[in-house]
Amino acid sequence: MVSAIDYALWIPVLPIVAFPIILFLGNVFKGMPAWRGRWKEGGTIATIVIGTCLGLSIWLIVGYIGQVTGNESVGQIGDWLSFHMVENGNLVSYSLGFGMYLDHVSVMLLFVASFLCFLIAIFSLGYMNSDPVNLDRNHRFYAEFLLFCAGMLGMVLADNFLWLFIFWEIMGLCSYLLIGFYYERPSASYAAKKAFLTTRVGDIFLLIGLLILWNLFGSLDFSVVWAEDNIAAVDAGTLKIALFMMFVGAVGKSAQFPLHVWLPDAMEGPTPVSALIHAATMVNAGLYLVARMFPFFASPAMAGEFTDLAMLIAWIGGITAFMAALIAFVQMDIKKVLAYSTMSQLAYIFTGLGAALWFANTGHEEIALLAFGASMFHLFNHAMAKGMLFMASGSVIHEMHHVHHEVAHHDSGESAAGNAAGGDHDGGQGGGDDHDHFDAQDMSNMGGLASKMPITATAMAVGSASIIGIPLIGGFWSKEGIIGAAWKASLTSGGAWMLGPALLLLITAGMTGFYMSRMWFMTFAGKPNTPVANGVVEQTPFIPIPLITLTVVTLGGIVFAGFEFVHWVADGHAEMHFTHVLSGIGSEMKHAFLPSGEENGALIFLVTMLTIVISTIVGPATAMALYGGRLQKGEKAKPWLAWLVSLSSRVRRNNHFDNSIWANSGLADSLHQRLHFDAWYDAAMLKIVVPFANACAWFDQHIIDGAIKGIEYGSQEGSSVIRRLTTGSGRDYIMMVALGTLAIFVLIWGVA
Amino acid sequence: MISNAKMQMRDREFALISGLLAISAVLMYLFPSFAVENSAGQIDWITLPLVAFPLIAGTVLMAFASMQPYRLKDRIGQPIKLISLAFALMMLGISSGLLFGWLESINWDLSQYNRYELDFEYAWIQSIGVSWHVGLDGLSFSMVWLTTVLIPIVMITTWEEKIGWYHHPLILMMGGALIGVFVALDFFMFFVFWEMTLIPMFFLILKWGGDDRRYAAQKFFIYTFTGSVVMLLGIITLYFLQPSSQALVDQGVLTGRTFDMTQMAIGAQAAANADIAWLGIDMQKALFLMFLLGFLVKLPAVPFHTWLPDAHVQAPTAGSMLLAGVMLKMGGYGLFRVCATLFPEALLEYQWLLLTIGMVSLVYGSFVCLGQTNLKRLVAFSSVSHMGIILLGIATMEPLGFAGAIFMMFAHGIISPLLFAVAGAFKHHYHTLEIGSMRGMAKHSPWLATFMMFGWMASLGLPLLAGFVAEITVLIAFWKAFGWWVILPGITLIVTAAYYLWSMQKTIFEGGDDGEMPESLGGAPAPDISLWEVSGMMLLAMLTVLFGVLPWIFFDMMTGYAYGLFDGILLNVITGGA
């Protein structure tokens, strides 16, 4: 019988193979009408390939869920490298293999990655191919896009840490290529370099961590390093160092403090790339790696050994969540708000994982699994919501850009859409110049789009609600779990230090409510701030498909919750069955709103309610008071959005408060400077590394090669000195012969 | 893209080529019937086809062409280049045939100390114990295959080089000489070929080099020659230190001594088995250092590296590609073939020295790279840095480290020619090598930009490309041997990424919608690279991917070699010393 696992290898291989094919075809057929039209400059191929991957993944997943045991299935394919090492005076042979490993975590991520990649591919067909800037180079986008997907899919499927690292690096390369897609822009090339180098710093830590791990276990296969007996046999201190080093790698990849600086700049890439990096693939890689450390922490042999490391993970998460939310307050670029939001939400997951690892390491297995499940569920919810948010922001930017293009062309009589308002060039100077001063991503140029882009506005609202954690929508279920886990940990004996991250997460929940609402209201509520925003309509094909799909998925978070997703992803033993959905929802609701019967139940209940209040009411209400507003006269939003807009205008009218003190404060200034991290890193690079390198180069040229040149010069000089002795005059030669003879006699005499 | 490849030929030339090709095909077909066989019944594929033919053919072609009247020289360029290429492809065919077992059934993975999968010996200068002894094992075969695959690729890449009737035969000769080094199992032969490689390279630099080529060629020649002279002293000392054997005297060897490496290795192994240092530990250390100097200069390692950037900057594309691709590997090869095989005790004693020099080369080299503004100097110093990894691999004294170091030689042998092909094309098309003199290469030379990015990425150790396999294997062994010192290579990996990304940012990227042209072009448009260059680079890129994804094709062979070396002699020494 043919089973899906036999074809699983094709999931990463197909896109990798398609990568050079699209590049090649694109270079050959560049500019041809059919290539641009039917083939979408490679987009068709990419969509088909990634669709096939999605199909294979679903086949795999369905088969996997069907297994009641929920155990991992391993497909070892073969040895990649085999070699020998000297052990106690003997040659022992080892090998690094490759194969596939499937369990509940990898299956979940496999679905997230392939599903989102597929939707983003569809989105790109609309977004990339209708923008003249991308003309004749979309094949590069689609090829690199596929390689990126292959990196993520391969990483998730890998059965050992070496291949995890290999695909991890492939993703690093692709992020470099895609962030630098608009290579002609200095900012894009700088951002690409920054992303690669920053994550590279983390990667080196990860690599060293893997070296230590290999040395401990003599293997990097999951099945070997997770085996209870093997873990029990190694030194806990060394293992902790290895895990710490690997965690730093995850910090780099998932853009956590202090290696977070690359992520906001990564917005230089086209919007589908942002969706790809921030939702589907790259940033999840770091979380996946930390999740893969769970067995080490849960091992009874290591109980109590790694509590401080788990605490560190939670703290890094807490700090990043808070810091990113703070910076998101002042961002005007719609994509940058989302970038910081990503950073902040990933930090939630890190804290959740930190708490889960802490519980696992202190022997609270059941609650550890719950926290772990909640973190993974948040990863799922965040990926879906953030993918949608990025695509929705892309939709806004695309239409803004499009209208601006037409407004700018209005005078020259090119096809101006009837709804393009007036000839007022706000900042736009020249006719065909796409890179003039108008910023299609700046939220201050938007406003009032709720009626003009109903699908986008809805998607954005649902996505924001999920990120904020509005009750019953996607992210709510998981975020409550994470915050609850952090608080529970802080109340457990020995976990007092967890109070910091727990508090930070609680505050951040309210801040999330503020900045996400701020983004939505600035973009969609109020009156259009520019003529360009006034002329926007939703008209690009393909873009609505992923938006609607993901809206449904996000709204369906309650169903996933009812499926006991949390339990399933944690240990794979929950029964995923339709008949249980309703009772599952009931128990989840009770769990979320009325946690009782547990230790400190009252306090957890209080925390839960507090979270709901500040994230759902305080944060959004503040945003409404500052940025809300009625739509333009005559414009009418869809009924499910209209109440939101009118509520916001009412809140603003009733509570108009002035935030100029904050906006002009030194804090806001620091936030605009991203808390100066970028400046410090740049300064360290320019003031220390570069001068040192220049000194090395100088040393090499003047001292080392100078010595060689000195010898050259010395030998030339010396030979010309000696040449002076050959005067050519007989008298001198007779003199020398006489002296020589004398010397020989003296020597002989002396010896004798 | 195809810049008129001048493929038109006259009938006479066509006849000449097809005739020669037909003759060589017939010769090749008949070769097994008249070729010499050794006692194991293997045909000698090495002596004539891999070493003698290219040397003779190169000389004959050059002599033939230079005797032609001046007005004909341009016209015979094309056929002579084609014949050179045909010879190069024939060599590639033979080495690939040996690899895949089409010609002889050989399992390259099963190496043993001092046993060669192909082994042929003929008397040469019997009175002093010199023989023509050639052989191939897991170590040398990978290098020979690398050479045979590089020679045709170099020819293709530099197809449009001026004075082709002189250029391509020189490359062919270079190939013969290089293979001679790798197959030699006799110190006399080894040294002869070692020095012979200098000659074609010297002329390549002198004839096709940049403005300062005279200085560079002389520096290259004299510097490496000086290193070799010390090695020669080592060889002579070694020769006279070995005990005189009556058996050899009876065979007609006047001194009773031999230059044969395999004979010496037997002695070394016997001594190691008896737990004594062969030739005495002090003498062994002295010899080790003498050889080491010769190899380090060639490798090159800091502080003996300054000839390399000068030579590379001035050398033409073909010269750079072969210099970085194969000639540097002679140093690493020698370390294994001589130092590790014959002087194991001294190797163990001087582990710290190799570690220090390797580490300095690696770390210091990478920082010097970061301070360069000349593209070729940058790539040259990156070679110095990568060669440090070979020394580190040896210093680990682990079979894995050895195998990784050999794979590094192999991987660098594929990747660095690509880097230099790119740098050469850059020079050719923009008339400058300054990084930052122009921007937006992706716009006006997309193919060059593609290969530049590929090569740079391969060189900074991206997974699934050949360089990564070498780095990860050496690092695994390194951690086991030296622990936290791994931080230094780690920093180097970051610095390597930094200088490569920086140089790409300042060449491929930026430049606005139209890109920025260098002043050296004087406003003329920069064409993209020719089809020849694209083909050559494409082949190198494909090889890089091939050996990055399927490294075991050669890695198993290198593992086998390292196993044989440890099993045969080094393990005895390590455990004996402990």
What is the Cα Rg of chain A in Å? 31
Q: What is the pLDDT of residue B110?
A: 82
Tens digits of residue pLDDT in B523-546: 777 777 888 999 999 999 999 999
Q: What is the pLDDT of residue A403?
A: 84
Stretch B284-293: mean pLDDT: 93
* Residue B344 contacts residue B272 (beta carbons within 8 Å): yes
Q: What is the pLDDT of residue A414?
A: 40
Q: What is the H or E stretch that residue B134 is in?
A: strand B130-136
Judge whether residue B34 has pLDDT over 80.
Answer: no
Tens digits of residue pLDDT in A301-340: 888 888 889 999 999 999 999 999 989 888 888 888 999 9
Q: What percent of chain A has pLDDT over 70?
A: 89
Tens digits of residue pLDDT in A144-156: 999 999 999 999 9
Q: Measure B31 CA to nearest chain A CA, in Å.
A: 37
Query: A695 and B574 in contact by Cβ < 8 A?
Result: no
Tens digits of residue pLDDT in B139-166: 999 999 999 999 999 999 999 888 888 8
Interface with A, mutate which of B219, B307, B357, B368 (most A CBs under 10 A): B368
Contact B567/A at CB under 8 A: yes
Q: Chain-wide mean pLDDT for chain B?
A: 88
Judge whether residue B578 has pLDDT over 70.
Answer: no
Among chain B residues, CA nearest to A697 = B368
* Residue A376 contacts residue A108 (beta carbons within 8 Å): yes
Tens digits of residue pLDDT in B83-124: 899 889 989 999 999 998 888 888 888 888 888 988 888 888
Judge whether residue A598 has pLDDT over 70.
Answer: no
Residue whose tokens read 């998925």 = A553
**Secondary structure class of A67 (helix, strand, coil):** coil
Tens digits of residue pLDDT in B158-193: 998 888 888 999 999 999 999 999 999 999 999 999
Tens digits of residue pLDDT in A173-215: 999 999 988 888 888 889 999 999 999 999 999 999 999 999 9
Euclidean distance between CA atoms B166 and B73, whole angstroms: 10
Q: What is the pLDDT of residue B8?
A: 47
Q: What is the pLDDT of residue A428?
A: 35
For residue A72, what pLDDT band results from cuts at 50, 70 and 90? low
* Facing A204 at nearest CB: one of B223, B476, B490: B490
Stretch A34-63: mean pLDDT: 86
Q: What is the H or E stretch that residue B135 is in?
A: strand B130-136
CA B162 and chain centroid, separation: 24
Tens digits of residue pLDDT in B377-396: 999 999 999 999 999 999 99
Judge whether residue B195 has pLDDT over 90.
Answer: yes
Query: A696 and B490 in contact by Cβ < 8 A?
Result: no
Contact B446/A at CB under 8 A: yes
Q: What is the pLDDT of residue A574?
A: 53
Per-window interface: A 580-609 vs B, CB < 8 A: none
Among chain B residues, CA nearest to A190 = B505
More confident residue, B9 or B317: B317
Residue A557 structure tokens: 């978070």
Pick the range with the lowest mean pLDDT from A12-21, A136-145, A429-438, A518-527: A429-438
More confident residue, A625 or A658: A625
Per-window interface: B 350-369 vs A, CB < 8 A: 364, 367-369
Contact A332/B at CB under 8 A: no
Tens digits of residue pLDDT in A226-270: 888 888 888 888 999 999 999 999 999 998 988 888 888 888 888
Judge whether residue A68 has pLDDT over 50.
Answer: no
Q: Chain-wide mean pLDDT for chain A?
A: 83
Contact B528/A at CB under 8 A: no
More confident residue, A246 or A494: A246
For residue B2, what pLDDT band results from cuts at 50, 70 and 90? very low
* Residue A543 contacts residue A401 (beta carbons within 8 Å): no
Q: What is the pLDDT of residue A67?
A: 57
- Omega prior to B399 cis, within 30 of 0: no
Provide, as residue numbers in chain A, all residues whose Cβ is less than 8 Å from the Cβ of B559: 81-84
Stretch B42-54: mean pLDDT: 87
Pick the range with the lowest mean pLDDT from A495-504, B89-98, B199-208, B334-343: A495-504
Q: Residues for chain A: how many in total?
A: 752
Q: What is the H or E stretch that residue A73 is in?
A: strand A73-87
Contact B399/A at CB under 8 A: yes
- Judging by beta carbons within 10 Å of its beta carbon (0-12, 13-18, 19+), is residue B110 exposed, middle or buried? middle
The string of DSSP letters for B520-569 reads: GGTTPPPPPPPHHHHHHHHHHHHHHHHHHH-THHHHHHHHHHHHHHIIII
More confident residue, B522 or A12: A12
Going from the C-alpha of A101 to that of each of A60, A149, A223, A482, B250, the distances in angstroms are 12, 18, 9, 27, 67
Name A91's bridge partners.
Answer: A86
Interface pTM (ipTM) of the complex? 0.90
Interface with A, mutate which of B360, B381, B447, B479 (most A CBs under 10 A): B479
Query: B510 and A165 in contact by Cβ < 8 A?
Result: no
Burial B236-254 (b: 16+ CB within 10 A, else e): eebbebbeebeebeeeebe
* Facing B509 at nearest CB: one of A165, A180, A697: A180
Query: B400 and A84 in contact by Cβ < 8 A?
Result: yes
Euclidean distance between CA atoms A446 and A444, whole angstroms: 5
Among chain A residues, CA nearest to B556 = A82
Domain ranges of chain B: 40-574
**Secondary structure class of B160 (helix, strand, coil):** coil
Per-window interface: B 312-341 vs A, CB < 8 A: none
**Secondary structure class of B306 (helix, strand, coil):** coil
Q: Residues for chain B: how many in total?
A: 578
Contact A692/B at CB under 8 A: yes
Going from the C-alpha of A97 to that of each of A15, A81, A103, B147, the distances in angstroms are 22, 7, 19, 30
Q: What is the pLDDT of residue A409?
A: 64
Closest CA to B476 of A86, A210, A204: A210
Euclidean distance between CA atoms B425 and B419, whole angstroms: 10
For residue A118, what pLDDT band results from cuts at 50, 70 and 90? very high
Closest CA to A144 of A6, A262, A50: A50
For residue A35, what pLDDT band results from cuts at 50, 70 and 90? confident
Stretch A504-530: mean pLDDT: 88
* Facing B501 at nearest CB: one of A197, A208, A697: A197
For residue A4, what pLDDT band results from cuts at 50, 70 and 90? low
Closest CA to A546 of A181, A157, A271: A271
Query: B490 and A196 in contact by Cβ < 8 A?
Result: no
Q: Measure B533 CA to nearest chain A CA, in Å.
A: 17
Going from the C-alpha of B142 to that of each of A409, B266, B541, B552, the distances in angstroms are 63, 24, 18, 12
Query: A690 and B370 in contact by Cβ < 8 A?
Result: yes
Tens digits of residue pLDDT in B470-502: 999 999 999 999 989 999 999 999 999 999 999
Interface with B, mutate which of A83, A84, A170, A434 (most B CBs under 10 A): A83
More confident residue, B39 or B236: B236
Tens digits of residue pLDDT in A119-164: 999 998 888 888 877 778 888 889 999 999 999 999 998 888 999 9
Q: What is the pLDDT of residue B340?
A: 92
CA end-to-end span of chain A: 101
Closest CA to B58 of B189, B171, B193: B171
Among chain B residues, CA nearest to A696 = B368
What is the reported pTM? 0.91
Query: A82 and B403 in contact by Cβ < 8 A?
Result: no
* Residue B374 contacts residue B433 (beta carbons within 8 Å): yes
Q: What is the pLDDT of residue A347?
A: 92
Euclidean distance between CA atoms B411 and B383, whole angstroms: 12
Q: What is the pLDDT of residue A61?
A: 80
Query: B371 and A201 in contact by Cβ < 8 A?
Result: no
Tens digits of residue pLDDT in A682-723: 888 888 888 898 999 999 888 988 898 898 899 889 988 888
Stretch A521-528: mean pLDDT: 85
Q: Which residues contact A434 (CB under 8 A, 6 or more apart)?
A: A132, A133, A405
Judge whether residue A607 has pLDDT over 90.
Answer: no
Neighbours of A618 (CB within 10 A): 16
Provide, as residue numbers in chain B, all residues whose Cβ is less than 8 Å from the Cβ of A84: 399-400, 559, 562-563, 566
Euclidean distance between CA atoms A213 and A203, whole angstroms: 15
For residue A637, what pLDDT band results from cuts at 50, 70 and 90? confident
* Facing A84 at nearest CB: one of B223, B509, B562: B562
* Facing B501 at nearest CB: one of A167, A183, A193: A193
Q: What is the H or E stretch that residue A79 is in?
A: strand A73-87
Neighbours of A415 (CB within 10 A): 8
Closest CA to A106 of A277, A371, A294: A294
Euclidean distance between CA atoms B37 and A465, whole angstroms: 81
Among chain B residues, CA nearest to A701 = B306
Q: Measure A494 CA to nearest chain B CA, in Å.
A: 32
Tens digits of residue pLDDT in A627-636: 888 888 777 8
